[in-house]
Chains A and B, each alone.
Chain A
Amino acid sequence: MAAKTLETFRCMMCGHEYQEPVEPGEDKERSCPKCRSNSIRHLKKKPPEPSHGAPGAACQKSKE
């Protein structure tokens, strides 16, 4: 069974923001738990910015 991830959603009707576990590839009709609207926006996580000392940063440095 594929691992579920906790994703954030925002209702575009009432502004309610909530989190829900999501399975990859799941096909589910969403509605706001507060106002039942279907205008549910999936808020995507922003990728973390690389910091000094991060594995990626070290790799970049060595390439230079």
Chain B
Amino acid sequence: MTFSEVEEVSGYVGNFTVKIRRKARYVDPKLCNACGECAKVCPVVRPDEYQMGLSSRKAIYIPFPQAVPCSYILNMEDCLGNNPIACGKCADVCEKKAINYDDNDQIVTRQVGAIIVAIGLDVYDPTELDDYGYTRFENVITSMEFERLICAGGPTGGHFVRPSDQQRPKRIGFIQCVGSRNPRIGRPYCSNICCMNTIKDTLLLADHYPDVENTVFYQDIRAFGKSFEDMFQRSKEAGTRYIRGLPAEIEEDPATRNLALTVENTTTGKLERHEFDMVVLSVGVQPAKDLRKICSLLTLSRTSDGFFMESHPKLKPVDAPTRGVFFAGFCEAPKDIKDSVCQAGAAASRAGALLNAGRIQIEAVTSRIDEAACKKCGQCAAVCPYGAIVWRKGEVATVIEAACAGCGSCGATCQFGAISMRHFTDDQLLAQVRAILADNPQEKVFVFACNWCSYAGGDMAGISRMQYPASNRVVRTMCSARVSEEMVLEAFRCGAPVVLVSGCHYADCHYINANRQTVKRVQRLWDRLEKAGVRPERLQLEWISAAEGQKFAKVMHQLEELRKTVTLEEIEHTRQALQIKPKKAAPAEAAAVAAT
């Protein structure tokens, strides 16, 4: 379904309902035979987005040569207007009568079992890097514009010319890592494809125009794929100069429109000045602009770089945290065509395996709602990272068990005890708290650790034979979001001098973003403890990954030091300050009590 956009996704694995907006084309693709007569008479001229604005298109056009279906579309924002019809020339010349000015968007609903997200990428726009003069100098172009200029299907028919004077450039400079590996502009990641793209461009130029001098300015050349190093060597053998160092600034000679740049060659340590007819900025890539929308539609999470977070970086690299959703291509991380094709195949296989099985195994740990206790507030649905709780105003919430991953965020949020997590019920966890702190609680550091990271971090510290105080007592929950305020307060009531809530790092949360609820809860607890006259520092929060055994040991040392500062008097005061006050009895009940 081309020229369409996903508007809404509901449901869960094996049972998704997707609403798709099929945009109005104003040209019937079944009738249009792409003769092009309409475009010939269209008076509107606009920059062609596909050719990076280096040539023009009409208001009625084929978006790009390989478009499917091969049919014209009419861009109503550019058209002179159909209501009233101000032009209508295209409709007059269309023999097939394929043009329909009254066409409308259509909403199409589809039932699907699995979803593969392959929304691609956006290219970095270097206009913010003023030092390279992309907006000031015509002969400074991006690698995407270079692609169009050298392409046989491009605006110049493959005749490579520079924009200022339409002459063939003889000296070309390529600047790598423009918009990549640059924390200053918020893009610390490597875009993966730019080095090989430039090497390919230099080989192409050397092949087509042997007299062209190519110079590449780089930080590091990352040629790590199959035959990539060979390609890099061939580029050097073909005469391309590789200079390690990125220019700080580009200047233009107003007379010749040639470009001069100064660079510190970090291999020789010398300052060099180079002059070029054209400079190509090898721009990086960035997450697609629609990524945030898809993120909220499918309840997905993102890494700090902005790309989609996979379910597990090593063991489930194509699975999304939401079951039944898979990733392919750039939306997950920067990768080249080969890796994208591999991932697409893997995603298709994963989806196929899921659908062919016909049944799925669900987690043993899921939430269960006690309908009688539910106050219909809907707070559980608001905190569920998977959208697995269905709630409508005035109705009891229900759990879709196939979608529930068992983080327990809902159970910790429910103030009415209406939600219990199978195998991690409130009663079970509170019983553990009370049992651990039954004897000599003042000598113990109480730790809530999430199953996937912090608990495994503790294991790592143990198997690595790291030394840390033996005072800690750990209670395991599936996610730190399962730890309710009541559990922490109960630990203090039972005499815990110090309580630690620990979970996965933000980017590693195994339940999309459930640990953000932990942060909110701990913030509330700090306020509450302070209000009750209890030192809030006695409650600590740490993100410890499975590999951070060293951090686990370090935190345990710190908490032991903190524990030593807590006196028995302070513990007793805490017990009294956090004591649950009995609720005031209703007047009738009070009278009855008085009578007895």
The complex places the Cα of A15 from the Cα of B542 at a distance, in Å, of: 15
A-B contact pairs, 9 of them (CB 8 A): A12-B537, A13-B537, A13-B540, A13-B562, A15-B537, A27-B513, A28-B506, A37-B542, A39-B541
B516 at the interface (CB under 8 A from A): yes
A38 at the interface (CB under 8 A from B): yes
B34 at the interface (CB under 8 A from A): no
The complex places the Cα of A39 from the Cα of B502 at a distance, in Å, of: 10
A33 to chain B minimum Cβ distance, whole angstroms, is 16
Residue of A nearest to B562 (CB): A13
B333 at the interface (CB under 8 A from A): no
B508 to chain A minimum Cβ distance, whole angstroms, is 10
A49 at the interface (CB under 8 A from B): no
A4 at the interface (CB under 8 A from B): no
| Count class of interface residues, chain B | 10 to 19
A34 at the interface (CB under 8 A from B): no
Name the interface residues of B531-566: CB closer than 8 Å to any CB of A: 536-537, 539-543, 555, 558, 562
- Taking A12-B537, A38-B542 as contacts, is the C-beta distance between A27 and B526 under 8 angstroms? no
- Which residues of A sit under 8 angstroms from B536, Cβ to Cβ? 12, 41
Cross-chain contact B506 with A12 (CB below 8 angstroms)? no
- Which residues of B sit under 8 angstroms from A41, Cβ to Cβ? 523, 526, 536
- Which residues of B sit under 8 angstroms from A16, Cβ to Cβ? none
Given contacts A12-B526, A15-B537, A28-B506, 19 further A-B contacts (CB under 8 A): A12-B536, A12-B537, A12-B539, A12-B540, A12-B541, A13-B540, A13-B562, A27-B513, A29-B506, A29-B543, A37-B540, A37-B542, A37-B555, A38-B542, A39-B537, A39-B540, A40-B541, A41-B523, A42-B523
The complex places the Cα of A28 from the Cα of B526 at a distance, in Å, of: 19
Residue of A nearest to B543 (CB): A38
The complex places the Cα of A23 from the Cα of B541 at a distance, in Å, of: 22
The complex places the Cα of A12 from the Cα of B525 at a distance, in Å, of: 13
The complex places the Cα of A40 from the Cα of B523 at a distance, in Å, of: 9
Compute the total of residue contacts between A and B using a CB distance below 8 Å.
Answer: 35
- Interface flags for A24-46 (1: CB within 8 Å of B; 0: not) read 00011100000001111110000
Cross-chain contact B516 with A27 (CB below 8 angstroms)? yes
B151 at the interface (CB under 8 A from A): no
- Which residues of B sit under 8 angstroms from A42, Cβ to Cβ? 523
A14 to chain B minimum Cβ distance, whole angstroms, is 9
- Which residues of B sit under 8 angstroms from A13, Cβ to Cβ? 537, 540, 558, 562
Q: Interface of chain B, helix or strand or loop or mixed?
A: helix
- Which residues of A sit under 8 angstroms from B523, Cβ to Cβ? 41-42
B505 at the interface (CB under 8 A from A): yes
The complex places the Cα of A7 from the Cα of B397 at a distance, in Å, of: 37
| One of B507, B526, B539 near A29 (C-beta < 8 A) | B507
The complex places the Cα of A39 from the Cα of B523 at a distance, in Å, of: 9
Cross-chain contact A29 with B540 (CB below 8 angstroms)? no
- Which residues of A sit under 8 angstroms from B543, Cβ to Cβ? 29, 38
- Which residues of A sit under 8 angstroms from B539, Cβ to Cβ? 12
Name the interface residues of B75-128: CB closer than 8 Å to any CB of A: none
| One of A27, A37, A40 near B506 (C-beta < 8 A) | A27
The complex places the Cα of A57 from the Cα of B505 at a distance, in Å, of: 47
The complex places the Cα of A42 from the Cα of B506 at a distance, in Å, of: 17
Closest 6 A/B residue pairs (Cβ): A29-B506, A39-B540, A39-B541, A12-B537, A38-B543, A38-B542
The complex places the Cα of A38 from the Cα of B523 at a distance, in Å, of: 12
- Which residues of B sit under 8 angstroms from A39, Cβ to Cβ? 537, 540-542
The complex places the Cα of A45 from the Cα of B539 at a distance, in Å, of: 22
The complex places the Cα of A42 from the Cα of B522 at a distance, in Å, of: 11
Name the interface residues of B262-301: CB closer than 8 Å to any CB of A: none
A63 to chain B minimum Cβ distance, whole angstroms, is 32
Residue of A nearest to B523 (CB): A42
B492 to chain A minimum Cβ distance, whole angstroms, is 15
- Which residues of B sit under 8 angstroms from A15, Cβ to Cβ? 537
- Which residues of A sit under 8 angstroms from B537, Cβ to Cβ? 12-13, 15, 39
The complex places the Cα of A37 from the Cα of B540 at a distance, in Å, of: 9
Residue of B nearest to A12 (CB): B537
- Which residues of B sit under 8 angstroms from A27, Cβ to Cβ? 506, 513, 516
A58 to chain B minimum Cβ distance, whole angstroms, is 33
Residue of B nearest to A30 (CB): B519
Residue of B nearest to A11 (CB): B537
Residue of B nearest to A37 (CB): B542
The complex places the Cα of A27 from the Cα of B505 at a distance, in Å, of: 12
The complex places the Cα of A37 from the Cα of B542 at a distance, in Å, of: 7
B243 to chain A minimum Cβ distance, whole angstroms, is 36
- Interface flags for A6-20 (1: CB within 8 Å of B; 0: not) read 000000110100000
The complex places the Cα of A40 from the Cα of B539 at a distance, in Å, of: 11
The complex places the Cα of A40 from the Cα of B505 at a distance, in Å, of: 14
Residue of A nearest to B530 (CB): A41
The complex places the Cα of A11 from the Cα of B537 at a distance, in Å, of: 9
- Which residues of A sit under 8 angstroms from B555, Cβ to Cβ? 37
Residue of A nearest to B539 (CB): A12
